[in-house]
Structure 1
Amino acid sequence: MATVELRFSAQPEHVRTARLVAAAVARRAGVDEAVLDEVRLAVGEACSRAVGLHRSNGVTAPIRVALTEEDKAFSIEVADDVPGAAVADADAAGVPVTGGSAVPAEDFDDAEGEDEMGLAVISGLVDDVEVSADEHGGVIRMSWPASSTTTLP
């Protein structure tokens, strides 16, 4: 299993770079060309959501993105450091949730429901999506089938 890790400050202009890196790594991992636009869009939504959460909640830690080539699959995890936001938004958007528990909405700023909409868009783009959270923050994990025998460096 090969993994590429990306960390960037919570600035909107870095989301484009994350999308480009995700598409390049997905292509190398063997994700079908027809699906690469979905990968770019889903990563863009997940990273934009994380950036928005960090900025609206005053979190200065970097956004973390892990791109992993697994056996016949390619997965991406986008992690934020806002406790409970991922679970509360995922519940509202109807996305599967593992671990953690929702915190009261007043305990974090979700940019007036935009995060819930972002998760709904991601779930529409990605068949295999999972949201988890704990007291340290949330993770959106997305995966796609990969057929290549090429491995990441």
Structure 2
Amino acid sequence: MATVELLFSALPEHVRTARLVAAAVARRAGVDEAVLDEVRLAVGEACSRAVGLHASNEIPTPVRVVLIEEEKKFSIEVGDDAPRAVAVEAVAGGAAGAAEEAGADGDDEMGLAVISGLVDDVEVTAGESGGVIRMSWPTTPASVVP
């Protein structure tokens, strides 16, 4: 199992770099070429969401992106350190009123909707110490060229 970990300052200009690194590692891991645009878009949304949460909560720690190549799948975890106990209810399908109380939720909810539309296997966890978006895609074995 190969792992690449990327830490970047929570600045919008670094999101593009995270997208490029994710696409390169996904390609190397064997993710289908037709899916690479979805990987780039999903990582961009997840990283933009994390950057926004860090900025709105004035959190100085970096955003974490972990790229994991497993035997039959490629996974990406995007983590932030923004505390949001109320946001967990909103992600889990809580009332719209709870979502409005959670802060910059409109963008947060939209970003999660976009990610869910792009990725079949996605899991979002959030709590008092931060949150993680886990996404994965199937891989195909690399063909051996003589």
Note whether the superposition's TM-score is higher than 0.5: yes
1:99 corresponds to: none
SS at match of 1:76: strand
Residue among 93, 118, 141 paired with 1:148: 141
Stretches of structure 2 lacking an aligned partner (at least 5 in a row): none
2:36 corresponds to: 36
Amino acid at match of 1:135: E
- 1:2 to partner: Cα distance: 0.9
1:55 corresponds to: 55
SS at match of 1:61: coil
Cα 1:89/1:2, change in 2 over 3 Å: farther
Which structure's residues are more often helix, by fraction? 2
TM-score by length of 1: 0.83
SS at match of 2:92: helix
2:103 corresponds to: 109
| 1: CA distance, partners of 2:27 / 2:51 | 25
Q: How many residues align?
A: 139
| 1: CA distance, partners of 2:132 / 2:65 | 9
1:96 corresponds to: none
| 1: CA distance, partners of 2:16 / 2:90 | 23
2:128 corresponds to: 135
1:97 corresponds to: none
Matched-pair identity in %: 73
- 1:132 to partner: Cα distance: 1.1
- 1:87 to partner: Cα distance: 2.3
Cα 1:45/1:104, change in 2 over 3 Å: closer
Amino acid at match of 1:146: T
Stretches of structure 1 lacking an aligned partner (at least 5 in a row): 94-102
| 2: CA distance, partners of 1:52 / 1:88 | 19
| 2: CA distance, partners of 1:5 / 1:20 | 14
Query: What RMSD over aligned residues (CA atoms) do the two structures have, in Å?
Result: 2.1
- 1:45 to partner: Cα distance: 0.1
Compare CA radii of gyration and give the structure with the larger one. 2
TM-score by length of 2: 0.87
Q: Which runs of 4+ in 1 moved over 4 A?
A: 103-106
